[in-house]
Amino acid sequence: MKTKVRFIVIGCTVLILTACSKSDNGNNNERGADTSNPTTVSPVETLPPNANYPPAFAGQTRVNGVRTTTAIRTTIVTSALSAPWGITSLPDGRYLVTQKGGNLRIVTVTGTVSNVITGIPAVNASGQGGLLGLCIDPQFTSNRMVYWVFSENVTGGNLTAVAKGRLSDNESSIENPTVIYRAGPAANSNAHYGSRILFDQTGNLLVSTGERANTSTRTFAQSVTAAWGKVLRITTSGQPAPGNPDFSQAGALLELYSIGHRNPQGLALHPVTGELWQSEHGPRGGDEINRVQAGLNYGWPVITYGLEYSGQTLGAGIQQQNGMEQPVYYWDPVVSPSGMTFYNSDRIPEWRNNLFIGSLSGQHIVRLVIENNRVTGEERLLVSERQRFRDITQGTDGALYAITDAGRLYRIDRQ
């Protein structure tokens, strides 16, 4: 398959030339730009919000826009994937990709897609379910272990399940696939599985779960006896990880790390602080970015910056409550944030430690500049591609790689 290359100049690099190419950052509103800093522009969101809720602090939403000054090259590595959902880098520079329908594949840097890797347990691919997030063991070069999250049919409905297995030496199959954790109870819902997974710095797994979408189930995000609407921290054998916070209520699950989440589809560790950050789908408005800390409650569905899909007030219509954490950032209208990664490369210095998030309904990649745990700038990248960006990761070469629901894998790097 031919590799398609698209050159995108995001902003202007100051050279001998005085002319400047058109930006592809999706911010066509040049009014109000800060002329003292040509990379700072008006907020990228110009549509009216669904709810007229005031933010809890300045910069919590609709922060000033920023514009990348480095010339960027965007390459379509392949368009041959089928509804990819999760991507992770292999040590040799190739990519392991889950496909929603239940298949696992390897993609080379030149765009060759492997045959289906067999051995993955059956998934329930209806609705938002399927073969979802994945990661590899930090010791992959020696143990070849892969971990993934999927929607599993069980008695009473379906649930978010975590499994592991060894990638065979010939890369044709997953050996000894084992389900190590099930986020119960089961529910009759095919939505809000959460399903991102990564290793923390202690060698344990962090897993996000959704509250299964129904009005009758969403309240379980506040319950410490159910694994819905949570970030979980488990060992590689699926047991509660040592050092987990103590939720003191009776019957509290020992694997809980944080509670009060809606549908968290992005997890990433900050490359400097090591802290966990998370993206979360809101309802009609109220998409969130959270800095997740052990033992804290992130509020859903008690507090939210969104509305019911009908437009009615959600719950008591409050956005703050004692004992519940505020999002670092939120969107209204939604962008539908999915997989995300921090940029930790010197190839584009101005992106260093910025957070990049795949946007589904927004059909772009979000770039957030973060300083002292606050968002100070937002940019929209690859808007003209009109793709639902499902996940994004940084490759071993320092470039960003993003997958889309339409089956594309993009490489994003400097020219």
Which three-class secondary structure state does DSSP give residue 292? strand
Residue matched to tokens 């950052």: 25
- Whole-number Å distance between alpha carbons of 360 and 342: 18
Structure tokens given for 20: 């400047």
Residues in contact with 147: Cβ distance below 8 Å, sequence separation at least 6, in sequence order: 134, 135, 136, 137, 162, 163, 164, 197, 205, 236
Do residues 68 and 75 make contact, with C-beta atoms less than 8 angstroms apart? no
- What amino acid positions are annotated as catalytic residues? 192
**How many CB atoms sit inside 10 A of residue 143's CB?**
13
Sign of CA dihedral 66, 69, 70, 71: positive
Measured CA to CA, the distance from residue 231 to residue 211 in angstroms comes to 11
Q: Give the H or E element holding residue 355.
A: strand 355-359
Return the amino acid letter for 98.
Answer: T
The Cα 353–Cα 340 span in angstroms is 12
DSSP 3-state of 172: coil
Single-letter residue type at 259: I
